[in-house]
Amino acid sequence: MKKTTALRQMLSGSDIHVAPGVYDGMTARLAEQAGFKLIYASGGAIARSCGFPDIGMLSFSEVLHRLEQMVEVTQVPIIADADTGFGNAINVSRTVKAFERAGVAALHLEDQTFPKRCGHLNDKSLVSTQEMVHKIRVAKDSQTDPDFTLIARTDAIAVEGFDAAMERSHAYLAAGADVIFVEAPETIEQIELIAKYIKQPKLINMFHSGKTPLVSKDRLQALGYKFIIIPSDLQRATIHACQHTLRTILEQGDSGSIAEQMVSFAERERIINTHAYLDLDLGYGRN
């Protein structure tokens, strides 16, 4: 089954699906091996993995290259963060075509101005509803796979208020968006009202210490949300583990005292599937 079709089946089913945020081939592999049936390629996490903040500093090509790596080493559908589409409607068209060719199953576009900011940072600014509607129409017209899913994100709550976010959401759905993503609701009441006012498929961003309060998966499913993305938790855990290991090596000269906190050499090679690649090479060599 195509990954786009698998995602469409998730969209039409009754379950809610959690997608952890990944940022390279290794973390994508780990998420799939952990049992997740859906992965989120976080633009913010990709940027930070390059050493930059999530403020639109990475180029279209840099993000696309990372997506290609993730797709190559996994079998589950990937939702990709396409930020603002990397520019105007012309850029959006190219982004959709390239992301679809890369093999992701869905992407989300947001209504911030370019360059954008992380959805939980302050001082965001938005394009007009009319401009975003045009981008969505162009994005839909640029698809070649009818199962490819277009998610429209609005950051309007922080800029124009909750009512404006609802108005924009309905306009984006009317323009052809398959799923709505209202970024950074600030209260449980807002999360509930989004579900009340938007009956179409919805995605929500859930992570500890952001502007949005944590709500259980079961409660979100009861409210009608289809997808939960958790963009940065894996990266934040990785940062903490790296800092701890680096302190140990700096103080002690090696990592022997925390060996039980790391995977072994052999386990790392199993995760990355080294033997399968080497067997492929040996097999051709024997012929």
Q: Angle, nearest 10°, between helix axes 162-175 and 129-142?
A: 30
Which two structure tokens, joined as six digits, stand for 245? 């290991």
Amino acid at 67: L
Q: How far apart are CA 150 and CA 285, in angstroms?
A: 44
Residues paired with 39 in a beta bridge: 78
Q: Which alpha helices (H) appear in the chain, and where do they start and end? A: 3-12, 25-33, 43-49, 60-72, 89-102, 129-142, 156-159, 162-175, 188-197, 217-223, 233-252, 265-272, 274-286
Positions annotated as catalytic residues are 40, 54, 81, 83, 108, 110, 118, 153, 183, 205
Please answer whether residues 160 and 196 qualify as being in contact, where contact means their C-beta atoms are separated by less than 8 angstroms.
no
Q: How far apart are CA 41 and CA 53, in angstroms?
A: 16
Per DSSP, the chain holds a count of helices (H) and strands (E) of: 13, 8
